[in-house]
Amino acid sequence: MREDRLQVVLAANGFYPRSFQWQGQGLRVLAVDAISTHGAERRFRVRTPIGSFELGLFTDAGRWHLRRAPNWLDRAWARVQRMPRYPLPPWRRRAFRVAAPRPVVMAQPARREGYAGRFALVR
């Protein structure tokens, strides 16, 4: 397993990673999928726009390491997750019709009728 030294920006609570620098590009953490502890190391499985990573934090030294980078399958899965769930072909899509504005109707005075006038007896 290859370990790279990382620059990680933590969330406001100071526990979870919010973004990190990897191979010269900044990556935003979309979600933290799992957290595990292995001795003095705390591991975060995070999801980014280009795939899933596993980041390791050595709590005694305060150093971050990349435990696992996404492979081609993880990158393909991330691309699939960004696509719309059920895209329709263009000829099946609904056209958005703008409704004509309704004419303003003057409020009519309410009719006075008894309570039983609104219901019918059905046998």
Q: Which range among 1-10, 29-38, 80-89 has the greatest average pLDDT?
A: 29-38
> What is the pLDDT of the chain when averaged over all its residues?
77
Higher-pLDDT residue of 3 and 80 is: 80
22-53 burial, b if ≥16 CB within 10 A, otherwise e? beeeebebeebeeeeeeeebebbbbbbeebbb
Q: Supply the pTM of this predicted model.
A: 0.57
pLDDT at position 5 is 60
Higher-pLDDT residue of 121 and 66 is: 66
Tens digit of each residue's pLDDT (9 = 90 or more) over 55-95: 988 889 888 888 777 788 877 877 777 766 666 777 777 76
